[in-house]
Structure 1
């Protein structure tokens, strides 16, 4: 009798252990810039439990910068980051099996002081331009190519460039110490709210160069192994992302809830950031790879191996859009 009871107890323990294992909620660890705009979407996912509804838990890891997030992904400390697909192309060419899920098509532009006499990029010859992101910043490359094609001016040789972190370029531009500034879209929105004006947007310049202005540049990046091993989990994440975007696209009250997270210092900044995020929501469906190929070829021509590494053409398998 005792043996039977012991056997039954052992069996029930095994059943309980198996049940716990099967009921354990999978977690996606995403490493993102601590105060980046992607947090508005991720916050919306968590607040409305869009992850739990889809059977997973989103674990948000705030990082000091993009390089730290990339190290976390490469070191196995994170399952997902946000990066541009050109970085993914470079990594795939180097043998890394990373894939890209579209997140945003928002880009910045070149901002000038409100009292500037400039009407085209050609008017900036001899001036000082602040550029966030360094000499390989995609907006800088596109705007320089546009200036060359449309105005016959080489901005790199005919202007003084000041490179710095986005917040520094933002503050320096607003202080009037720059004749023009190229920054990420949310800083561009804040500069516009602060009285500066946009000389030209990166999307308009891209379109003039034959590129698709609706091409999403930023996306969620994961290891291809995760997609192969657990496609349902990846599809559930993208479903939560789309649901959060739908809320943010329509619900002004949701933005009121997020206002403290956004760090908007004025009503003007708040409205500009809200409008900019909404404008950057990409259309549903797969990425147009022909458009991506045209952009890759231009970026490769402009910056070469320094930007795209060993990639000589757009690698296969970069873009995925589960559930589209």
Structure 2
């Protein structure tokens, strides 16, 4: 039987309408799923190295694969990120667990997910005669941060234990932002410089010599250099009310680290945002990040307690506040 033109047109219209309805249903389902995906607002230093991991998470969809949408909020400094977090404008920040322990001791329910064990150290010029911390007596030392910088405290403790000297009294300190210490050190203005790990990597790539790393100093002090110092910080209410979000963040972080630990092509993709000045600097930054990846599993709380005790002894309440002992519930295990 032949179809008339009108009947054929009606059938085509019905088929088209059915296809449109099907497409609309798919679209609405996708939109509903998108709307249900919780957003995690992560406030971090705009040019911090954590952005390399966050970029990897977003680029490979590791956030959505783990049940959340990552929203990175670049901040001018660590203090601004903490203000945003404490004021409810951010869900996650990156900080050291000493700060988190201080907040918990003061009654704030914050928890710590390990992110990195990377630490800096002290470097000297290539022609420096210094071979130990004792050789820095009478010299000008640049320290990134302030008098309560954790690396400075650990190096002071080692100088006291190994050489019987107080670096705070036996040297002249110049405290400043990491870029300032970096430039002053390269300019030959300092007898030694203590800086964050990525600036230390850049200084070594530029020809400066490592006197001792903070990891080596910690080990000499009987501390565990494998204890991660930096981590993602979330509020305890999120851990209680939305545990899948916290575990999703931890799992996404671990998956990104697995890529960055093995895949050199991923680093080539990231290279433009790393702003490495040379191939040597790029290689040093990549190696430093990889060396800082913590092993999976829980943080050794005895080792953490020993480090906190050292910080309390040399930094006092200005550094640790009321956290004389390691607060319960501080650490959340990262994804495996």
TM-score class normalised by the smaller sequence: over 0.9
CA-based RMSD of the aligned residues comes to 1.4
Count residues with an aligned counterpart: 308
The answer to whether structure 1 residue 156 and structure 2 residue 173 are counterparts is no
1:95-116 Cα shifts (integer Å, max 9, x gaps): 1000000000000000000000
Matched, 1:113 2:125: yes
State the 1:55 CA deviation. 2.2
Aligned partners of 1:251, 1:98: CA distance in 2, in Å? 33
Deviation at residue 323 of structure 1 after TM alignment:
4.2
Correspondence 1:274 to 2:286: yes
Q: Distance in 2 between matches of 1:241 and 1:283?
A: 12
Q: Does structure 1 retain, via aligned residues, the 8 Å contact 2:141–2:192?
A: yes
* Distance in 1, Cα, partners of 2:314 & 2:133: 18
Tell me the alpha carbon deviations over residues 25-65 of structure 1, each in whole angstroms, 9 at most, x when there is no partner. 10100000000000000000011111112221000000000
Q: Distance in 2 between matches of 1:303 and 1:36?
A: 25
Indicate conservation of the 8 Å contact 1:81/1:222, yes or no. Answer: yes
Using the size of structure 2 for normalisation, the TM-score is 0.90
Q: Secondary structure at the match of 1:177?
A: coil
Runs of 4+ in 1 over 4 A off after TM superposition: none
- Equivalent in 118, 131, 151 of residue 143 of structure 2: 131
Verify the 8 A CA contact 2:253 2:335 in the aligned structure 1: no
Show structure 1 runs of 5+ residues with no match: 1-15
- Pairing 1:92–2:104 present: yes
Q: Structure 2: how far apart are the matches of 1:65 and 1:118?
A: 33
Give the Å deviation of 1:197: 0.4
TM-score (norm 1): 0.93
Task: Give the corresponding residue for 1:214.
Answer: 226
Question: Structure 1 residues 322 and 228, CA, compared in 2 at 3 Å: closer, same or farther?
Answer: farther
Task: Work out the CA distance in 2 between the residues paired with 1:56 and 1:303.
Answer: 38
1:301-320 to 2 correspondences below 5 Å: 301-320=313-332
Deviates more, 1:307-316 or 1:101-110: 307-316
Deviations 1:151-172 (A, max 9, x none): 1111100100000000000000
Instruction: Rate the CA distance shift 1:265–1:20 in 2: closer, same or farther, 3 A.
Output: same
Residue 35 of structure 1 corresponds to which residue in structure 2? Answer: 47
Residue pair 1:234, 1:322 contacting (<8 A) in 2 also: no
Residues 116-265 of structure 1 mapped to structure 2, 5 A cutoff: 116-265=128-277
